[in-house]
Amino acid sequence: MGDAALWRRLAAEFLGSAFLAALVIGSGIAAQRLSPGDTGLELLENAVATAAGLAAIILMFGPVSGGHFNPVVSFVDAAFRGLSWRDVAAYVPAQVAGCVAGAIAANLMFALPAVTISVKHRASGAHFLAEVIATVGLLLVIFALARSGRASATPAAVGAYIGAAYFFTSSASFANPAITIGRMFSDTFAGIAPSSAPVYIGAQVVGGMVAIGLVRALYPGVTPAEAAEVTVPRDHAADAARRAGAPASDGRAAAVSRPGSTANG
């Protein structure tokens, strides 16, 4: 891919990550205000909004960048050669910056100071284990669908998994170093204290490494082409057509006919 395509993908990863953080944090703030004092209902509202919104965000930006919005997803994708390490080095800062921007936007939308450092301590051995499991599960969902040619189902599956993991994990399933960093900048329902963030990020990295081993064991022979379908197939044909000066419709038609593409269902 050329530099022009890379900047488009970075813009998509930044915007998608920003929407993700705004979604998670903003729905948490709204839940606190709508259901004060009822933690279970607040968590349910936060989880449902996150599950539905995450699926929509992946559909919005996935065709441009693959819809990672998560450094661990990008690293594991590169381990299976679906993404170059050069691109990972560019994706991660865009993801982190996007999550921080989204946290600031969420604060401002609810008339809070732009930055409010969270004091919510979450770090414990149980939280570490929960984040390892949450991250492993997320990656298994993504790569199982890519390996079996069902990548078009990934947005809904990822949203459903994260929504469920809000409840079956003690950590509320961050499963994403970028969103973990972003949540530090909002002292609200979804926030995390900076002192707790390294525990979560460390667990997410461990989860990513465990997931690589499990994917190799469960789905041997994952090809770079299959890994490139994570989490949503990128429109490579359209990018190539634009660079060659061909009409954009040619690229879209090629994408429809490509097995495993989103348009192909």
pLDDT recorded at residue 218: 93
Which residues of the chain register pLDDT less than 50? Answer: 1-3, 237-243, 246-265
Query: CA 215, CA 208: separation in Å to the nearest integer?
Result: 10
pLDDT recorded at residue 242: 45
pLDDT recorded at residue 163: 97
Query: CA 142, CA 79: separation in Å to the nearest integer?
Result: 14
- For 3-233, which CATH class? mainly alpha
* Tokens, residue 249: 């419709």
- DSSP state letters, the chain: --HHHHHHHHHHHHHHHHHHHHHHHHHHHHHHHHSTT-HHHHHHHHHHHHHHHHHHHHHHHHHHH-S--SHHHHHHHHHTTSS-HHHHHHHHHHHHHHHHHHHHHHHHHTT--S-B-------SHHHHHHHHHHHHHHHHHHHHHHHTT-GGGHHHHHHHHHHHHHHHSTT-----HHHHHHHTTB-STT---TTTHHHHHHHHHHHHHHHHHHHHHHSTT--HHHHTTSSS---HHHHHHHHHT--HHHHHHHHHHSTT-TTT-
* Tokens, residue 212: 């690589």
Q: Over the stretch 30-64, which tens digit does the pLDDT of each residue have?
A: 999 999 999 999 999 999 999 999 999 999 999 99
Q: How many residues does the chain have?
A: 265
pLDDT recorded at residue 33: 96
pLDDT recorded at residue 178: 98
